[in-house]
Amino acid sequence: MQTLSLPFQFFQAHFDEYLSRYQDFLRIPSVSTDPDHKADMQRACDFLVGQLKNLGTDRVEVFPTPMHPIVFAEKRSPKPNAPTLLIYGHYDVQPVAPLNEWKSPPFEPSLDGDYLTARGASDMKGQVMAVLSAIDSIVKTTELPLNLKFLFEGEEEIGSPSLETFIASHRDLLACDMVLNPDAGMVGLDLPTVVYSLRGLVYFEVRIDGPKTDLHSGLFGGVVANPAIVLSEIIASLHAPDGSVAVPGFYDQVLPLTPEERARIAANPTRETDLLAITGAPALYGEAGYTPLERIGARPTLDVNGLYSGFIGEGSKTIIPAYASAKISCRLVPNQDPDHVYDTIKKAIENRVPPTVRLTMVKHSGAPAYLADDAPGLQNLTAALSETWGKPVIFKREGGSIPVATTMQNYLGVKSLLTGFGLPDDHIHSPNERQHLPTWKKGVQALIHFIAGFEHES
Ligand code: BES
Ligand code: ZN
């Protein structure tokens, strides 16, 4: 028991220090999608290198990529034949817009009661710092029972475009017995969670060009097609009235849900009222014939993530816009191939474009879904979580995406332990992202239990 409690006592005694390092990490505006933040990405990478060196790692190496560097580190256990745990994290965050909706500046972490607010506080700098704090507390107080490897990337929020090549060409370096990926979250407060499925993603832009420039809508309205209207019609045509995606072939590869799987999904305690409260939407929406949890975890979707055309400033301006564009993405479920889905949508859109305008489509990232419920180390993790919270662990099919889980399964042959200590109302990807600190502390406690607890095996 002592090996478990000593590190946690150390963590509690040094909590202020750990919290202040966490805040230092949050101060770095590492927005991966924005080229203006390239130097900040390097700073976030350097920050992690510093943290990893402080842990007394045997090796820390930075691998450049076409975009943002990958950090690898290794710390060996003094125990012979110790199993190896590979820990994944990402140091990039989503953009902060709309900035005026933040109650405090996104990169100036603000502590208010139980919450720490900043971009990345929950997704996932908070989770990276929870793991690093847990390991630091362990190595300061006891013997590490596992060999540790760390893989931190800076491109998760843009679909991990450099990671597959890196993993494929560094299989020996990354060889491991278990993978811990704390980029998933909890079902709710005091509901420790392990995620066994993630949705995939395919992201693309659709642009409709009409006249060569914005035109006076009085002089030319009625003779020239309006790209904003054409794009709206195309977007509207992508769903049927029953909420399903109206693209021929879109559901071709989707496996039907078995009664067992439906029952398993229904065991998640999240209710419609929770979803209404968290989102603030006046009513729920979605594909007919499936429960909200099935629609989140096990059905594909198509969403508009951004829409732009014409004059969007204050006041009015009478024009026919020269172009209209939309950022669109689909969440994918197991067995769907992102390239195939993109091709079906591209074909459907091409068929719906009238000859009065021109269409351009650009594909961004694509990642397949993930489904695996028997990752190595699952029993240890489940025990650590349930003992820390004094509650059974909830197994969840998650609607979000973490591309690396599938990539690691494919190239390293190891399934991931997907967990995390973010809550559904942390506002991830939204203004005022936050982390519930009492949950973060419990998360560190559970991670200490999970990692240091390996000594109690065998
Ligand atoms: N941490 C999230 C995914 C997530 C959130 C999983 C909550 C489980 C619970 C991750 O950082 C994320 O947002 N991923 C992107 C990936 C995409 C760009 C391929 C996503 O889901 O939008
Ligand atoms: Zn995210």
How many structural domains does the chain have? 2
C-alpha 442 to ligand 2 mean position (Å) = 21
| The ligand 1 atom nearest the CA atom of 403 | 19
In-domain check, residue 263: no
In a domain, 285, yes or no: no
Give me 412's structure tokens.
């390293």
> 274 lies in a domain?
no
Ramachandran angles phi, psi of 243, nearest 5°? 85, 0
The predicted pLDDT at position 454 comes to: 85
The answer on 342 and 362 residing in a single domain is yes
Which residue's CA lies nearest to atom 16 of ligand 1? 401
Percent of the chain with pLDDT over 70: 98
Cα of 215 from ligand 1 centre, angstroms: 40
∠ at Cα 395 (393, 399), nearest 5°?
135
Domain termination residue (choose one: 367, 384, 411):
367
Task: Find the CATH number of the domain harbouring 313.
Answer: 3.30.70.360
User: What φ, ψ does residue 262 adopt, rounded to 5°?
Assistant: -65, -40
Last residue of a domain, one of 321, 351, 367: 367
Q: How far is the CA of 313 from the centre of ligand 2 (A)?
A: 29
Cα 198 to middle of ligand 2, angstroms: 13
- 277 inside domain: no
Asked whether residue 209 falls in the same domain as residue 193, the answer is no
Among 123, 125, 127, the mutation site with the greatest number of ligand 1 atoms within 8 A of its Cβ is 123
Q: Are residues 131 and 219 in the same domain?
A: no
401 lines ligand 1 (CB under 6 A): yes
Phi and psi (nearest 5°) for 51? -65, -40
- If DSSP codes are grouped into helix, strand and coil, which group holds residue 371? strand
**Shared domain check, 450 and 327:** no
Cα(427) to ligand 2 centroid in Å equals 10
Which pLDDT value is given to residue 261? 96
Helix (H) or strand (E) holding 231: helix 227-237
Whether residues 227 and 209 share a domain: the answer is yes
For ligand 1, atom 8: residue with the closest CA? 184
Question: 204 and 186 share a domain?
Answer: no
CATH number, domain with residue 143: 3.40.630.10
User: Which ligand lies nearest the alpha carbon of 198?
Assistant: 1
367 Cβ closer than 6 Å to some ligand 1 atom? yes
In a domain, 232, yes or no: yes
Do 388 and 348 lie in one domain? The reply is: no
Is residue 451 within 8 A of residue 134, CB to CB? The reply is: yes
Let me know whether 21 and 139 are in one domain: yes
Considering the domain architecture, whether residues 363 and 394 belong to the same structural domain is answered as no
| Residue where one domain finishes, among candidates 316, 339, 367 | 367
d(CA 301, CA 137): 42
**Tell me: the pLDDT tens digits for 13-51?**
999 999 999 999 999 999 999 999 999 999 999 999 999
Q: Is the CB of 365 under 6 A from ligand 1?
A: yes
Mean pLDDT over 259-274 rounds to 96
Amino acid at 301: T
- The ligand 1 atom nearest the CA atom of 331: 21
Residue 165 lies in a domain: yes
Average pLDDT, the chain: 97
In a domain, 289, yes or no: no
User: Are 363 and 373 part of one and the same domain?
Assistant: no
Ligand 1, atom 19: closest residue by C-alpha: 159
Query: Residues 217-250: pLDDT tens digits?
Result: 999 999 999 999 999 999 999 999 999 999 999 9
Are residues 309 and 219 part of one domain?
yes
- Sole residue written with tokens 């006891």: 142
Cα–Cα distance, 171 to 251 (Å, whole number): 34
Q: Provide the whole-model pTM.
A: 0.95
Domain coverage including residue 240: 200-254+300-367
Would the pLDDT of 343 be above 70? yes
Band of pLDDT at residue 280, cut at 50, 70 and 90: very high
Q: What is the pLDDT of residues 134-162, one digit of tens each?
A: 999 999 999 999 999 999 999 999 999 99
Neighbouring residues of the ion ligand 2, judged by CB less than 5 Å: 123
Check residue 1 and give its pLDDT.
Answer: 47
Q: Encode pLDDT of 284-332 as tens digits.
A: 999 999 999 999 999 999 999 999 999 999 999 999 999 999 999 999 9
Asked whether 128 and 440 are in contact (CB, 8 A), the reply is no
Residue with tokens 């009492």: 438
* Residue entry with tokens 């909420």: 243
